[in-house]
Chain A
Amino acid sequence: MRTPRTRRRLLAGLLLGFGVMAFVRRPRTLAREPGLVAMPPTQTPQDVQTRNVAADTVDTYLAIAADGQVTVRVGKVELGTGIATALAQIVAEELDAPLDRVTLVQGDTATTPDQGTTAGSKSLQVAGPLLRQAAAEARRILLDRASEKLGVPVDRLRVADGVVRSDARSVAYGELAGKPFDHPVTGDAPVKASADYRVVGQSIPRRDLLAKLTGGEAFVHDVRLEGMLHGRVVRPRVRTRDGIGASVVAVDDGALKDIAGVIAVVRNGDFVGVVAEREEQAVAAARALNVTWSALPELPAQADEHARLRAMPSETRVPVNAGDLEAAFATAAVTHAATFDQPWQAHASMGPSCAVADVRADGATIYASSQNVYALARSLASLLGLAPERVRVIYREGSGCYGHNGADDVSADAALLSRAVGRPVRVQWMREDEFAWEPKGPAMTSDIRAGLDAGGNIVAWDYRVWTPTHGTRPGGEPSRLLAAQLIDPPVAPAPYGQVGGDRNAPTIYTVPNNRVTVEWVSSPTLRQSSLRSLGGFHNTTANEIFMDELARLASADPVAFRLRHLGDPRAVDVLQRVAERAGWGGPLPERSDGLLIGRGVAFARYETAFAYVATVAEVAVDPASGAVRVERVVVAHDCGAIVNPDGLTNQIEGNVIQGISRALLEEVTWGRHEVTSLTWADYHILTFPDVPEIDVILIDRPGEPSWGAGEPAICPMAAAVSNAICDATGARLRAIPYTPERVLAAIRNG
């Protein structure tokens, strides 16, 4: 219970604005009624000393216990994409160990190797070969040990299911593994031929699903520590990169006197939060806390966003400049130009970001769904003034993120609140916190100009894109954490690199005179970072709609037009396969409902270096309302050697649905002072009635590298839809989202 005296102290302290202001009340003993289900406490490791994890030894990645259990330590983490299952398959295969004896430990700064950020469709691509090499090395060492033990040469031994056999005798891996491997991963251990694979290439069911389907402790949201309190943060509804845009003038906690269980109001500069015994009390306290903010600065008008991008100072880069562009345009038979716009879009994770932090004087443990626990640990150590080896970040899955959402920021919030009250604190952002504050996929805009010769071949291609960086993840410096910019004094911002806005900007087609210009702008309207495929979504959309426009100008079939500008046989293959399966060139089903139907194609090679994807979309457009429904999508996908076909198909389907959603529905909105798309009523995503039939063609390339598949298939999706709308109506949609209003306007102007 609060006394009037502590109330006055609390308020006085807040108004004085001391650096850190936390008033901690004596915690009430947590009520436990007889008959309640006991909650299993999640262990808080007492020793947070981070192990020095070498990157190049077998022991870094693998441990085999006496009972034969194989533990794999990996820095890449399961984001809901099935990566944990696929990586376990690779290890089981190369080690010849039973898959059900292989367990994965992922993303724990104290025990797993730092493999950087889990992003960019690089987990299988990067961690897969490493684990394959480590497992092959381990297998070779185990065979040497078996040879010695059995007195039989290695070439007369064989291994199956973790047991080494000669003609007469056998020994299990567990019996051979009593000591560390103590051996580097040399990279020269023999690996299996893909023809011998038994586990890799199979649709092994996801290992994480049983817990998720039965209410197991599967998410960071489910972590419970002994004595854990609940926190919420209080912020205005907008923030740009370089400041909150408003400062705290006053904090009035008068209304909190009616809320039981409030432990503390925490203020540090413009960072304001509440901590309470129970979650609903923290929610109520955050709502009741009356924070007066200084006048919010005015945001640029949303309608002017793309013009603003073009008008901003920029750093110009020219990653591609081949041939003589102006000469080619001068002699071209036909020239054509168009502009393409991408709005701000949100990750829109189903569950708002959550973290649990236990910060003590001499160390901290944080459970987080960060895509890079190592960088987050370094950032938090700096923020908290702790030695890096005293901060342990343990990965727990969050709700699907599709890039850099609020997962890192909420970890800093939890850490600051935990430090203030001296107890473990769980913070889950509210829905509006996530929509307002998560770093979003930024607006982009592009101009393309091209020239065709008299034969309808592309002879000149000039692409120019305006983009901010898409890379603002905390990389070890704390300044990129929201809370770090709010505390007093704020952490000075570290400069950003130029990340992701140029992804898939260069055309993949063979064009003799070709220039790509990237205008890197530095001051976006909202807070931005990596959203699935980064600039790959916008740049592919622009390039692939424009290819469709050129095909029409050349009076060519869009598939044939693409094929004659492609030499790579794998690119040709995906296009031909998707066209065949989609019935390209054949009639679309008859409709009697008055809707206009059409079919569109698009192609992408991810980052112009990895997976090949060709997509055909069929749409039905209501000419009266402008509403678009995508009815059927066919995708042909080649990402090299396939590890888990069903897991891959799942990723492709997800990319298709999220891509359609982004193409038709999604746009972050803001008003004069703040983001206004704060709930699912304001930020729409595709729902069940509008989900199309999806037909996925997997092209397996045994023996080739396995490229990532988390992002490639989203790249061509919007262009396929736009091209299909044009096929149906003659109207060309060049600005996402393709809303009914825009479709109607395009039809009328068409």
Chain B
Amino acid sequence: MTTTQASRTEISVNGTRHAVVAAPETPLLYVLRNELGLNAAKFGCGLGRCGACTVLRDGAAIRACEVPVGEVSGAELITLEGLGSADELHPIQQAFLDEQAAQCGFCIPGMMMTTAALLAENPQPTTGEIREALRDTLCRCGAHVRILRAVERAARAAKEGS
């Protein structure tokens, strides 16, 4: 990590422009969590290998732990908080809740954001396609079979809702 001084940067998160003070090379994750108070994206490895920090950049899944904030000032960023809330769950969140698709839950926000990116591109994925899409999102508790069911449920819900 280089060490330039913090400066004012604007980023668009969940539809709102935020002025944040951070060095441009600061990983986006720290800005989301510590400047904007968004808890969903988690620090897992800092190397983009586990997926716990996954958010959407212009609709595509990215690893917020390795993307510098200075690179995303022109992008539309969506975190899990932008999908839905406890009062108004997004269908993906509802599907994960319905399937009780978590144990500790630390990796689950990243799972849901990866799911959101997958379903946006491929609304009716096969089980094999879901498994491949989630290959690099790690879960240590072993909630995988529930997560797979939740993604299938979310895809069904989207189909029935459309």
Contact = CB atoms under 8 A, between A and B. Distances in A.
A binds B: yes
Nearest to B147: A688
A280 B5 CA distance: 12
Contacts of A685: 138, 140
A350 B33 CA distance: 17
A400 B141 contact: yes
B37 A80 contact: no
A213 B102 contact: yes
B121 interface: no
A208 interface: yes
B37 A81 contact: no
Interface stretch (B70-78, B79-87, B154-162): B79-87
Contacts of A288: 3
B101 to A, nearest CB: 9
A259 B27 CA distance: 15
Q: How large is the interface on B (under 10, 10 to 19, 20 to 34, 35 or more residues)?
A: 35 or more
Greatest chain B CB density within 10 A among A215, A351, A661 is at A215
A689 B132 contact: yes
B22 interface: yes
Interface string A68-81: 00000000000111
Contacts, number: 215
A206 B108 CA distance: 14
B120 interface: no
Nearest to A681: B49
A283 interface: yes
A652 to B, nearest CB: 9
B36 A37 contact: yes
B37 A428 contact: no
Nearest to A208: B105
Interface string A225-267: 0000000000000000000000000000000001111000000
Nearest to A256: B3
A646 interface: yes
Contacts of A689: 131-132, 135
Contacts of B46: 283, 430-431
A688 B140 contact: no
B3 A431 contact: no
A209 B132 CA distance: 25
Given A35-B19, A213-B112, A221-B42, A688 B134 contact: yes
A175 interface: no
A350 B146 contact: no
Nearest to A33: B19
Greatest chain B CB density within 10 A among A80, A211, A213, A352 is at A213
A212 B102 contact: yes
Given A36-B18, A280-B1, A646-B100, A431 B45 contact: yes
Nearest to B31: A280
Interface in B40-59: 40, 42-47, 49-50, 52
B132 to A, nearest CB: 6
A651 B35 CA distance: 36
B39 A688 contact: no
7 contacts: A31-B21, A80-B103, A224-B37, A349-B140, A352-B44, A653-B144, A658-B140
Interface of A: 31, 33-40, 79-82, 205-206, 208-219, 221-222, 224, 258-261, 278-280, 283-284, 287-288, 348-352, 397-400, 402, 428, 430-431, 646-647, 650-651, 653-658, 661, 679-681, 685-689, 691, 693-694
Interface of B: 1-3, 5-6, 8, 17-23, 26-27, 30, 33-40, 42-47, 49-50, 52, 79-81, 84-86, 89, 93, 96-97, 100, 102-109, 112, 130-132, 134-148
Given A206-B102, A428-B43, 6 more contacts: A35-B19, A80-B141, A208-B105, A214-B86, A215-B40, A686-B144
